[in-house]
């Protein structure tokens, strides 16, 4: 696939106005053209700010590998947000309960 065809592919993290800018990662469930959430934030933030550093760190700002959304309380070992998980697996109610428990553990340990 050439870079030219990526320009029209909403799944790819690129800035159409600035070719070559963006991490070029591909997200199966990303539907908006342009940069994904992390790159959008980084592109508009002051590189010296705390928010920038936090967003740059994959541990403090985990993101969904499906749509690129930043999920601050992603359960350990998870790679997808709730809605992408449903889209890709039509997951059972059991998974949703596990998710809830993981969220509680995350908020208690903070």
Q: Which of 12, 13, 37, 61 binds Zn ion (CB under 5 A)?
A: 13
Letters for 20-59 (x = contact with Zn ion by CB under 5 A, - = none) are: --xx---------------x--------------------
C-alpha distances out from residue 31 to 17, 37, 110, Å: 17, 12, 33
**By CB under 5 A, residue 74 contacts Zn ion:** no
Give the gyration radius of the chain's Cα atoms. 16
Return d(Cα 16, Cα 76) in angstroms, integer.
33
**SS3 at position 5:** helix
Interface region with Zn ion, contact rule CB under 5 A, candidates 5-13, 48-56, 88-96, 102-110: 5-13
Select from 11, 31, 32 the least CA-distant residue to 23: 11
Closest-CA residue to 13 (of 27, 28, 29) = 27
Within 76-95, the residues that bind Zn ion by CB under 5 A are 81, 84
Q: Contacts with Zn ion: how many residues (CB under 5 A)?
A: 10
Binder among 12, 66, 74, 99 for Zn ion (CB under 5 A): 66
Please give the residue ranges that form the binding site for Zn ion (CB under 5 A): 13, 22-23, 39, 64, 66-67, 69, 81, 84
């Amino acid at each position: 696939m050439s870079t030219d065809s990526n320009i029209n592919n909403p799944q790819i993290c690129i800035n159409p106005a600035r070719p070559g800018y963006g991490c070029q990662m591909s997200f199966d469930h990303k539907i908006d053209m342009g940069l994904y959430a992390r790159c959008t934030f980084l592109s508009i933030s002051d590189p010296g700010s705390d928010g920038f550093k936090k967003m740059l760190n994959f541990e403090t700002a985990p993101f969904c590998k499906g749509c690129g959304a930043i999920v601050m309380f992603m359960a350990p070992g998870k790679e997808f947000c709730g809605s992408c998980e449903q889209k890709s697996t039509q997951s059972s109610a059991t998974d949703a309960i596990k998710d809830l428990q993981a969220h509680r553990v995350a908020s208690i340990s903070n």
